[in-house]
Chain A
């Protein structure tokens, strides 16, 4: 019986975060995907408050919330694999956590709003908001990377993991909606970062295929449109 289990699948960017962390640490685990539309007994028992994935189960104890899980993984396996995920000093840890909070509180909701927008106007507004957020992250990247490949410098760090999980979704939405979200012209540093991030061995190992994410996005979009159409009939 595996000592480490993870409930979820990498289609969810929040689950992907935790898989990238486990991959960076080269920790073996059992992945337990949930069926779409159904919540397993194990999930409901392990995360009764939120009933959401990801849930990490270590020595039979569940840990919920992706940011909490990634910090837990970093603390339990400090030197494994590629080493520390959180920066060593308190100030840089604060910067990584600050921007992670920004990603979860502002950037991710604006990405969701793009996908959910029902009018061209709403979509344009959501896109502009998202791009504005990315421009802030472009600045943050220049400051934090100090000329190196990642927010964490030479190594993939906390913010790399917490933001990088959305890369494949951003690309999927660009393809399906015929948009440019991560503009190379205005965000050259982030563009470079995406290439480095995607090329990292630990990331490649768990990153879902672009095609699968595109199909999944199309599917949930169709489901949402159908639900909206049914509601107005």
Chain B
């Protein structure tokens, strides 16, 4: 069946450093979907970005057959449904619900304390660190008997958590705080290695020598802001 020109066109608007964009790239790779990538400059947003995501004006945005989809979670679900082979989500309703729950968990209980580990110090950082470790412990439990969160193959939850595999070591290096220790979280440690070396992920990561200074600069900026008196 001949497809019309433009019918199979997939475009991804993104930025090189965004872990949210990476999630979408990994999903497209797993599905074997070819796409055009457009690098956006968020300080100078393109008319295309403003047209395709007028509500949030953010990346990632996926454009398929001329129709734009925004929000990485929405995009991942769309990709899974539009290209049903190599499913990202389990078919069973309960398993599917659990996968979605873990994604929400990452947003609510893991990302925020990790961010505070990076951007705070002293007591605030210690509390954030403890909170992050507690959440990571739950992930460790979830990996029991499994190679990936999705089972034997990478699934939605792996893609959702995936950026942690390269971001956590960077945070550890910048802050000097250990988050995933081999002896305490061995399954999570192994998951990080398996995920980073998998075919879907290999070669997609932003270069560490560009990311590390970027995150270090964010830490400096937040610490400096915290020292300044409140402007009324």
A90 close to B101 (CB less than 8 A) = no
Q: Are B93 and A101 in contact (CB under 8 A)?
A: no
- Chain B positions 91-149 with a Cβ under 8 Å from a chain A Cβ: 93-94, 96-97, 100-101, 104-105, 108-109, 138
Q: Are B55 and A136 in contact (CB under 8 A)?
A: yes
Report the stretch among B26-34, B71-79, B186-194, B210-218 that lies at the interface.
Answer: B71-79
| Residue B201, interface by CB 8 Å | no
- Which chain B residues border A98 with CB–CB below 8 Å? 69-71, 74
Report if A29 contacts B (CB, 8 A). Answer: no
Contact A94 B69 (CB under 8 A): yes
| A2, CB-defined interface residue at 8 Å | no
> Cα distance A76–B81 when bound, in Å?
17
Q: Are B100 and A68 in contact (CB under 8 A)?
A: yes
Contact status B77-A93, CB under 8 Å: yes
B104/A68 in contact, CB under 8 A: yes
Residues of A contacting B100 in the complex (Cβ-Cβ under 8 angstroms): 65, 67-68, 71
Please name all residues of chain A whose beta carbon is closer than 8 Å to the beta carbon of B71 when the two chains form the complex.
Answer: 97-98, 101
Between B75, B101, B109, the greatest number of chain A beta carbons within 10 A of the residue's beta carbon is seen for B101
CB-CB nearest in chain A for B64: A91
Sampled A-B contacts (7; CB under 8 Å): A65-B101, A68-B101, A71-B100, A72-B93, A72-B94, A90-B81, A94-B69
Rounded to whole angstroms, the CA-CA distance of A159 and B104 in the bound complex is 19
- A61 adjacent to B67 (CB under 8 Å): no
In the complex the two chains form, what is the Cα distance from A100 to B61 in whole Å? Answer: 17
With A63-B97, A65-B100 as known contacts, state yes or no: A93 contacts B81, CB within 8 Å.
yes
Q: A49-B109, A91-B78 are in contact. Are A64 and B70 (CB under 8 A)?
A: no
Do residues A75 and B101 form an inter-chain contact, with CB atoms below 8 A?
A: no
Q: A91 and B55: CB pair below 8 A?
A: no
Tell me how far the C-beta of A1 lies from the nearest C-beta in chain B, rounded to whole angstroms: 19
A102 contacts the other chain (Cβ, under 8 Å)?
Answer: yes
- Min CB distance B86 to A, Å, is 16
* Alpha-carbon distance between A56 and B108 when the two chains are bound, in angstroms: 20
A76-B138 contact in complex given A97-B74, A101-B71, C-beta closer than 8 Å: no
Interface residue? B82 (CB, 8 A)? yes
Chain A interface residues toward B at CB < 8 A? 49-50, 58, 61, 63-65, 67-69, 71-72, 75-76, 90-91, 93-94, 97-98, 101-102, 136
Q: Which residues of B contact A64 (CB under 8 A)?
A: 101
Contact A94 B93 (CB under 8 A): no
- Complex alpha-carbon distance, A220 and B216, angstroms: 43
Give the distance to chain B from A47, nearest Cβ to Cβ, in Å: 10
Bound CA span A101–B64, Å: 20
In angstroms, Cα B71 to Cα A65, docked, is 18
Could you say which residues of chain B place their CB within 8 Å of the CB of A91? 64, 67, 69, 78
Given the known inter-chain contacts A94-B77, A97-B73, A98-B74, please indicate yes or no for A68 contacting B67, CB distance below 8 A. Answer: no
In the complex, what distance in Å separates the CA atom of A86 from the CA atom of B69?
Answer: 17
| Contact of A90 with B82 at beta-carbon distance under 8 Å, contacts A72-B93, A97-B73, A101-B71 already known | yes
Q: Return chain B residues, CB-CB under 8 Å to A136.
A: 55
Cβ contacts under 8 Å, B93 to chain A: 72, 75-76
Q: Report the bound CA distance from A152 to B13 in whole Å.
A: 28
- The residue on B at minimum CB distance from A98 is B74
**Residues A61 and B94 in contact in the complex (CB < 8 Å), given A93-B77, A93-B78, A97-B77:** yes
Distance (Å) between the CB of A183 and the closest chain B CB? 20
Please determine whether A90 and B55 come into contact, CB atoms closer than 8 angstroms: no
Given contacts A65-B101, A136-B55, 8 further A-B contacts (CB under 8 A): A64-B101, A67-B100, A68-B97, A72-B97, A91-B69, A94-B69, A94-B77, A98-B74
Residues of A close to B105: CB separation below 8 A: 49
- A64 and B105 alpha carbons, distance in the complex (Å): 11
B138 in complex: contacting residue of A49, A68, A90, A102, CB < 8 Å? A49
Q: B residues 25-48 with Cβ under 8 Å of A?
A: none
Q: What chain A residues lie within 8 Å of B70 (beta carbons)?
A: 98
Q: CB < 8 Å: which of A50, A58, A61, A94 contacts B74?
A: A94
Distance of A93 Cα from B74 Cα, bound (Å): 9
